Structure 1
Amino acid sequence: MTSSSLRLIPDAINRFGARVHAVDGHRWNDSTPCTEWTVRDLVNHLVSEHLWVPHLLAGESLEQVGDRYDGDMVGADPARAWDEAAERSLAAWKGADLSGTARFSFGEAPLTMYADQMLVDLTIHEWDLARGCGQPEWLDPAAVDHSLAYARANAERVAGLGIFAAPVPTTSTDPAVQLLSLLGRAV
């Protein structure tokens, strides 16, 4: 599963970036399916997440990184902030050795799990961004399939982290709808 994650992450980063660049200037304060976040807040979250990537893949601890990526990381130009974070993240993923572990806010975990989680995060938030600013909501089928397999296999653990809303029941057979519903999105 992880080799798929590592292979899929660069395209997921690029797709998210394309959506960031497609945000109309007046839509940055629009709401998203992440009820506490505007479009700008959502992009800020992803910028922060991707600024962490090089540090965690290089074996740095949470304490070593500290709070340098807390708060507003996008400033006056969210697209530029995304581009810079994405460039650093892509470089780190391309050279990544995922055989080790890292210490995360939820505890120590394999870097392979981190790769899976980052792909899920990129995929889900790509949809959130699209929905929040009126873009087409299409998601890459390979990223959806991989993310859905991960989400299903880790549903209890993910629910316990409290980072996603409760699952939304669905009868849909569409894998994207199943993924979004499992991670608390009403489609």
Structure 2
Amino acid sequence: MIDIRDAYRRALHDFGERLHLVRDDQWELPTPCVDWDVRELVNHLVNENLLAPELLAGRRITDIAGMYEEDVLGDDPIKAFEVSAQNAVEAVYAEGALTRVAHLPFGDVPGREYISELFADALIHTWDLAHAIGASERLDPELVASCAEWFERTREDYQETGLIAEPVNVPEDADQQTRLLAAWGRVPAPRSGTAARRRAPR
């Protein structure tokens, strides 16, 4: 696997590239995440970015849950994302971030595991955003491989907690990206009539 910090940084970069393609008339389009339109999906990721430096500094979610408004995008969603992403990336590269305990709602985990979860969320939501706005859905193959390797070890925990939708059946010869998306409950095609349960924000 590539360095998880690099993987997270690259996933956020790729999300940002899709975000810059969102037209003014696309913010209310539905996404594969049930109940989330494009703006709500972006808001979710920005919220995660804002929480990352706090949690990687050892703070508890109960201490910071009220720090951010429900809508953290304001009048400039792209700028809100870029600033939050820069701060989140700086936090994961900070000394001790990989080994410091992150106090998450479902329990304490090492920083490396928390960053892995942030990476996976950013990668999958990159596809969600691309799918919603009609942009390229092809994810970075190296990031897909890295996420697939990590998720293979953790998928049972994710599915048991209901954080993701039930896996979708795909042909045995499907490529790795299709298999990964299906494991997260995503249906790569068609755009209409399919949806995946949204992940609860952390």
Q: Shared fold (TM-score greater than 0.5)?
A: yes
**C-alpha deviations, 1:123-142, integer Å up to 9, x for none?**
10000000011101010111
Q: Which residue of 2 aligns with 1:186?
A: 187
How big is the shift at 1:48? 0.1
**C-alpha deviations, 1:98-120, integer Å up to 9, x for none?**
11211101111111111111111
Superposed, 1:1-187 pairs within 5 Å as 1=1, 4-97=3-96, 98-171=98-171, 172-187=173-188
Q: Secondary structure at the match of 1:185?
A: coil
- Contact kept, 8 Å, 1:4 with 1:146, in 2: the verdict is no
How big is the shift at 1:61? 1.2
One-letter amino acid matched to 2:133? C
How big is the shift at 1:173? 3.1
How big is the shift at 1:94? 2.2
How big is the shift at 1:35? 1.6
| Runs of 4+ off more than 6 Å | none
Q: Secondary structure at the match of 1:102?
A: strand
Higher helix share: 1
Q: Give the CA RMSD over aligned residues.
A: 1.3
One-letter amino acid matched to 2:179? Q
- Contact kept, 8 Å, 1:53 with 1:89, in 2: the verdict is yes
One-letter amino acid matched to 2:101? T
**C-alpha deviations, 1:24-50, integer Å up to 9, x for none?**
111000000002100100000000000
- Contact kept, 8 Å, 1:50 with 1:89, in 2: the verdict is yes
The CA distance in 2 between the partners of 1:139 and 1:9, in whole Å, is: 13
How many residues are paired up? 186
TM-score normalised by L of structure 1:
0.94
Identity of matched residues, %: 34
- Contact kept, 8 Å, 2:12 with 2:123, in 1: the verdict is no
With CA pairs under 8 Å and 6+ residues apart, which has the higher RCO, 1 or 2?
Answer: 2
How big is the shift at 1:60? 1.1
**C-alpha deviations, 1:55-107, integer Å up to 9, x for none?**
11111111221322351111222111111111211211222421121110111
Gaps of 5+ in 2: 189-202
How big is the shift at 1:164? 1.2
Q: Against the structure 1 CA distance between its residues 164 and 88, is the aligned structure 2 distance closer, same or farther, given a 3 Å change threshold?
A: same
How big is the shift at 1:11? 1.4
